[in-house]
Amino acid sequence: MSNAPSLALNGVHLEYPDGTGTINALDSVDLSVRPGQLAAIVGPSGSGKSSLLAVASTLIRPDSGSVGIGGVDVTRLSERARAALRREKLGIVFQQPNLLASLNAVEQLLISAQLRGESAKTARQRAIGLLDLVGLADCAGKRPHQLSGGQRQRVNIARALIGAPDVLLVDEPTAALDHERGAAIMRLLRKVTDEFQVAAVMVTHDIEFAALADSTAEMRDGRLTALAAA
């Protein structure tokens, strides 16, 4: 197991235009996450947490600073190279499980696997294995409307893992869930971080959930400050 960070943000600045001025969404943000490490980010609404994930996921290029994924500064890559890197190295779980209404759980995962050019048989076996791992062994044939909110979020997490990512980015996975289901999702994220040795970043509004993380940092007005380290 490598101990080099899989994800490393250094001095990241990001501004959004706002009327005649700008909003400082990220201000000198540093963050480093190693394989098997679960990093929690807490902080109030509007503080820049989702912006941090957007930059880490290569979806937004920061105005300055570097974003290293597997030792490569992705801010220097072309759009096409960043899209390839997202497919190969990143698993992204957005706040809303944006599942396709007409597909069952296993098919949601297969779409992502096929984008990566896997054979249908291998992909199906891995998809079923992942659904089992996230506690949905009995739900492979169910479509989103037949699943609970927590189950949909589990499909979302399994889908993010189908490409065997090095880095897993998760934005407020418990926002739409009650406390007990939210806690179960947090335990699942801890488990998949350990099992797949991903470098995981999880944004949560509930500081209590950060207890399962290896490190916690707080975002305020675009500035990230470490709260605790393992």
Q: Is 16 in the site for ligand ADP (CB under 6 A)?
A: yes
Q: From the CB of 46, what's the least distance to Mg ion, in Å? A: 8
Q: How far is the CB of 19 from ligand ADP (least distance, A)?
A: 10
Q: Which stretch binds ligand ADP (CB under 6 A): 49-57, 123-131, 137-145, 210-218?
A: 49-57
Question: Per CB under 6 A, which region of 38-46, 86-94, 108-116, 120-128 contacts ligand ADP?
Answer: 38-46
**Shortest spacing between CB 179 and ligand ADP, in angstroms:** 20
Rule CB under 6 A: choose which of 10, 13, 15, 23 binds ligand ADP: 23
Q: Should residue 156 be labelled a site residue for ligand ADP when binding is judged by CB under 6 A?
A: no
Q: Which does 16 bind (CB under 5 to 8 A by kind): Mg ion, ligand ADP, none?
A: ligand ADP
Does 25 sit near ligand ADP (CB under 6 A)? yes
Q: Which residues contact Mg ion by CB under 5 A?
A: 49-50
From 6, 50, 193, 215, residue interacting with ligand ADP (rule: CB under 6 A): 50
Tokens 């294995």: give the residue.
Answer: 129
Residue from 172, 202, 163 nearest 7 by CA: 202
Position with the least CB separation from Mg ion: 50
Q: Is 20 in the site for ligand ADP (CB under 6 A)?
A: no
Residues in contact with ligand ADP by the rule CB under 6 A: 16, 23, 25, 43, 45-51
